[in-house]
Chain A
């Protein structure tokens, strides 16, 4: 840096840059080496920060769900579309969705399991209850910049709403439209605010974060079926464990591998390579008497009488 020098120094003539006043070659090498050493922790810096300043790994996650002899459960869901009629016969909005949103206080308009009505290639329509597919090659998990969307050893994909920054790249990445954003103050009932939050129990909702179906891990660990499986009047939804090869729908027990193979199970958008954990048995509700050309289901309703102050809903 130049100094506003008023010094009385004898002029020293130098023929050119002298080694002692330029950063010589050796000096450069030394400094470069130092720089390299300084930069090498770049890869391990995030874990160090996490352990010291940051919050550490995802918190409030329960124990792994285990089978009786200690093996980790591998949750899988099978939806038998021969038994799904969109609750046309029951003349109600789809009861799987209703049970889920009531159990989780899911704010309007979130339908974590959503019953789509798709056209069949040969004509007619079928109802497709679509929860989060808990992909084994989940695009949402791959793109999350902060690891707020994470995979569990049971194969489910959960969200830590305390770490989510709300960038929504996971919503752009999900090919099944199964992620929902808390755009504003969510219209939930006041009693939901009393719950103790954890990634396995996404209550209460947090503004500015993403939510979705989580396969009800707290219930699954305790040996109960998820809300949607319990709510279905036709017992169309099976929930099971790939490790023990067993699944149940509230009425029957089946061997997962046999059930899938002999009923020609398929997965949604298989060609995308996401490897979902949700299987579908082809059908259109014929086992409960639905005619394939009977279209339409009732729209989902959120039953909260009271909502927290200042909340407003939004359209999807």
Chain B
């Protein structure tokens, strides 16, 4: 009887130790992370990029984990990872980031998760080319001066000059009437003073 009890205890200890060992190792190092990206990436249109965290052993979702999203990029001679943001996994173990692809070419999204206590982060990547060549930004400088309609200015200025033009016509009328009076009177010498203003009546020698 004693030997059976001892064997049973030993076996159960061994089993629980094994089980315990299995459990701890599963929760310690084996988190499986997967990046699920959208089917299409179009420049300027937001798309969801998901990071799915599951424990490796029992394939249970890992909730409340903060993951960091990066995209590799290069600009003006510098290459590197551009941090896009952080997201926290929900109950379903999924962290979502809304990503708006802006640059042309291949987009490689890299997700990192640093397990508490670990030194190396878990990394998963996903790559997809982005399509579309629509200009998203337009420079607004100098194209539109708000509130000012140039044609109003042109119309006002033209009207004023037309009126000046009509005054010029009057002056021409005066000149022509002067020619008339010349013909009518048939004189050949400078008019006496009285003719300057017809209302003064008789001429008066200065």
Say if the beta carbon of B198 comes within 8 Å of chain A. no
> Quick one: CB contact mask for A48-79 with B, threshold 8 Å, 1 for yes?
00000000000000000001111110100000
Tell me which residues across on chain A come within 8 A of B78, comparing CB atoms: 248-253
Contacts of A250 in B (CB 8 A): 76-78
Residues on B with C-beta less than 8 A from A255 are: 71, 73, 82-84, 102
A254 CB, nearest partner CB in chain B, Å: 6
Q: Which of B76, B150, B186 interacts with A239 by CB under 8 Å?
A: B76
A88 to B84, CA, bound (A): 33
Q: Which of B78, B79, B186, B187 has the most CB of A within 10 A?
A: B78
Q: In the complex, what residues of B have CB within 8 A of residue A32's CB?
A: 162, 165-166
Q: Is there an interface contact between A224 and B76, defined as CB atoms closer than 8 Å?
A: yes
Asked if B55 is at the interface (CB within 8 A of a chain A CB), the reply is: no
A26 in the interface, Cβ–Cβ < 8 Å?
no
Check A253 against B179 for contact (C-beta < 8 Å).
no
Contact partners of A40 in chain B: CB under 8 A: 158
B128 CB–A CB distance under 8 Å: no
Check B104 against A36 for contact (C-beta < 8 Å).
Answer: no
A157 CB contacts on chain B under 8 angstroms: 141-142
Is A150's CB within 8 Å of the partner chain B?
A: yes
User: A12, B184: Cβ atoms under 8 Å?
Assistant: yes
Q: Which of A9, A150, A241, A254 contacts B142 (CB 8 A)?
A: A150
Chain A interface category by residue count? 35 or more
The residues in A between 133 and 161 inclusive whose CB is less than 8 angstroms from any CB of B are: 134-138, 141-142, 150-155, 157
B side interface size, CB within 8 A: 57
Q: Given B80, B105, B182, which contacts A5 in the complex, CB threshold below 8 Å?
A: B182
Name which residue of chain B comes closest to A36, CB basis.
B162
- The smallest C-beta distance from A156 to any residue of chain B, in angstroms, reads 8
> Any chain B CB within 8 A of the CB of A11?
yes
* Cα-based distance from A252 to B70 in the complex (angstroms): 13
List residues 125-163 of chain B with CB under 8 A from any CB of chain A. 133-143, 145, 150-151, 154, 157-158, 161-162
As a 0/1 sequence over residues 84 to 122 of chain B, the CB contacts with chain A under 8 angstroms (1 = contact) are: 110000000000000010111100000000000000000
B162 neighbours in A (Cβ, 8 Å) = 32, 35-36, 39
Answer yes or no: B188 CB below 8 A from chain A CBs. yes
Contact B103 A244 (CB under 8 A): yes
* A275 touching B182, Cβ below 8 Å: no
User: Which residues of chain A from 3 to 57 have any CB-CB distance to chain B below 8 Å in the complex?
Assistant: 3-14, 17-18, 21-23, 28, 31-32, 35-36, 39-40, 42-43
Is A71 within 8 A of B79, CB to CB?
no
Known: A8-B186, A74-B139, A248-B78. A69 touches B73 (CB 8 A): no
Q: Which residues of A contact B45 (CB under 8 A)?
A: none
Is the C-beta of A1 less than 8 angstroms from some C-beta in chain B?
Answer: yes
Residue on B with the closest CB to A157? B141
Q: How far is the CB of B174 from chain A (nearest CB, A)?
A: 10
Determine whether the beta carbon of B137 is less than 8 Å from that of A67: no
A245 at the interface (CB under 8 A from B): yes
Please tell me if A92 contacts chain B, counting CB pairs below 8 Å. Answer: no
Complex interface: chain B residues within 8 A of A199 (CB) = none
Expressed in whole angstroms, the minimum distance between the Cβ of B101 and any Cβ of chain A is 9
* Contacting pair B85 A28 (CB below 8 A): no
A9 and B180 in contact, given A35-B162, A241-B75, A251-B78 (Cβ under 8 angstroms): no
What are the 4 tightest A-B residue pairs by CB atom distance, in nearest-first order?
A151-B142, A151-B141, A155-B139, A245-B102
Using CB atoms and an 8 Å cutoff, list the residues of chain B in contact with chain A. Answer: 43, 71, 73-85, 100, 102-105, 133-143, 145, 150-151, 154, 157-158, 161-162, 165-166, 169, 172-173, 175-180, 182-188
Sample (5) of A-B pairs whose CB atoms are under 8 Å apart: A134-B141, A153-B139, A225-B77, A243-B136, A255-B102
Beyond the given pairs A36-B162, A68-B105, A253-B80, 15 more chain A to chain B contacts, judged by CB atoms under 8 angstroms and listed by A's residue number, are A1-B178, A5-B186, A11-B184, A14-B184, A43-B150, A67-B103, A69-B43, A136-B140, A151-B142, A240-B75, A243-B102, A243-B137, A244-B102, A255-B83, A275-B140
